[in-house]
Amino acid sequence: MDDKHITLPPEIINQLDIDPHKPVQLTVNDNKLQLNQNPDPREKQSMSLRYFITPTILATILFFIRFTLAGQSLVPLTGNNSLENMTFLLGTLTGFIVFSIIFISQKRRRRNTTVEKIYWRNFPTIAIAFGSMLFLVLIGTFELLGTLFVGANFDVYTATILFFIFVAIINYTMINLALSITPSLIINLLMTVIIGGMTLAMISNSSLKWWHRNFSFLGTTDANKSWEFNLTLVLSALLMIALIDYLFVAIHQAHYKSLRLTTLRVLLTLTATSFGAVGLIPNNGDGIMHILHDQSARILVLFIIALIIGLRWLIPNISREFLQVSYAIAIGLIIALILFLFVGYFSLTSFELISASMSIGWILLLLQTLLKFTVNTEKTYTITIEASK
């Protein structure tokens, strides 16, 4: 079969990250042309197998040696010296390592345009966030398994096989996340970390009836596993800052640069910082920690209000639909505040849950909106297509 040739402008080749020395697939679908240039699937498969099998085998050997040397004939599913603990330790460690290796490899070899735009200074935050997400998922998984299989124990060989399966799934998943990382994936990760971490904190404190006090109780020394709640807030803030950094770098490259966007970037960064401060400073007692915690929460609310009020000025060409949603959320927050402070309809916990859900949801919507501005403005080119003979 004769080669087919299509000539594209150099700026389009650079924008689409096409290697002119490698073949490109041309697909006709629904009367539209699609150009795709994917790496050799055999190369990708070889890399995936190499990076997920090797650490999985090493971790499994360590697991087997640990229980064999300890002379432990039965390995419990959960609890002390269990399959759960070793999966938390070695599974999270190997998952974090393989994710970091693949991410660094993608960035150095420039195989992923999204990874290229992520600054090295944001790499630790993203890697830790993905590792923390993995840890939270493992906690939830083993809590579910512990409920389904109460008191389950396995012999060393069966436990080793189960451990191998768990770690293999972990490493394969983390590799694929690193290979397919996108801004949308990071936003989804942010949402997962927030919802997952807060849900786990609520479940851990259900016996203490935390809702009789306030939402911030989940992060105090009186709560069970308060680190889950506080770590969720801090990691979410760091991930938000990294995402904001990436988005505005991409927006500037797409020829959007103004004082308004710089102001928006500063306000968003301060909002994320205040969000993290709420978790970094637990609401313990009535002393300085309590005062700083409350001040951080109030400042967070003020920044969100400032963002909503200034949307029309801060974001160029903002859609009417997003403005309407934003104003509706602002009105909802005001109504909730009135029902809490003046009517007494909402309890403190109800008000905190409602306001936190609406505020976090709006921030995620705003990040999704900003993501649209990272794409270069549409350009039209005139080309000539000749049929092959």
pLDDT tens, 316-338?
Answer: 778 888 888 988 988 888 888 88
Same domain membership, residue 177 and residue 191? no
Q: Give the pLDDT confidence of 161-190 residue by residue, as tens digits.
A: 999 999 999 999 998 888 878 777 888 888
Q: Which of 37-41, 118-122, 175-179, 337-341 has the lowest mean pLDDT?
A: 37-41
Answer yes or no: do 166 and 294 share one domain.
Answer: no
Residue showing tokens 């936003």: 187
* 14 and 67 co-located in one domain: no
Q: Which residue has the higher pLDDT, 159 or 211?
A: 159
Q: Which of 134, 161, 181 is the last residue of a domain?
A: 181
Tell me the β-bridge partners of 35.
26
34 with 70, same domain: the answer is no
Of 181, 213, 248, which one is at a domain's C-terminal end? Answer: 181
Decide if pLDDT at 78 tops 60: yes
pLDDT of residue 18: 67
Domain coverage including residue 367:
185-379
Q: Which residue has the higher pLDDT, 188 or 49?
A: 188
Closest listed residue to residue 371, CA positions, set 208, 289, 267, 249: 249
Q: Say what the pLDDT of residue 65 is.
A: 93
- Tally Cβ neighbours within 10 Å of residue 314: 21
Q: Average pLDDT, stretch 97-124?
A: 77
Say what the pTM is.
0.72
Q: Mark whether 30 and 127 lie in a shared domain.
A: no
Q: Which of 99-103, 270-274, 321-325, 351-355 has the lowest mean pLDDT?
A: 351-355
Query: What average pLDDT is seen over the chain?
Result: 81
Residues 281 and 361 both lie in one domain: yes
Span 129-156, pLDDT tens digits: 888 888 878 888 888 888 888 888 999 9
Calpha distance 196→346 (Å, rounded): 25
Verify that 196 and 266 share a domain, yes or no: yes
Number of domains in the chain: 3
Please say which residue of 147, 181, 215 terminates a domain. 181
The pLDDT of 47-62, averaged and rounded, is: 83
Q: Could you tell me if 220 and 302 lie in one domain?
A: yes
pLDDT of residue 1: 45
Same structural domain, 205 and 162: no
Element (H, E) at 35: strand 32-36
Same domain, 207 and 150: no
Please report the pLDDT score of residue 85 as a whole number: 92
Residues 235 and 177 in one domain: no
Whether 198 and 175 map to the same domain: the answer is no
Between β-strands 153-155 and 74-76, what pairing exists: parallel, antiparallel or unpaired? antiparallel
Cα separation of 376 and 254, whole Å? Answer: 5
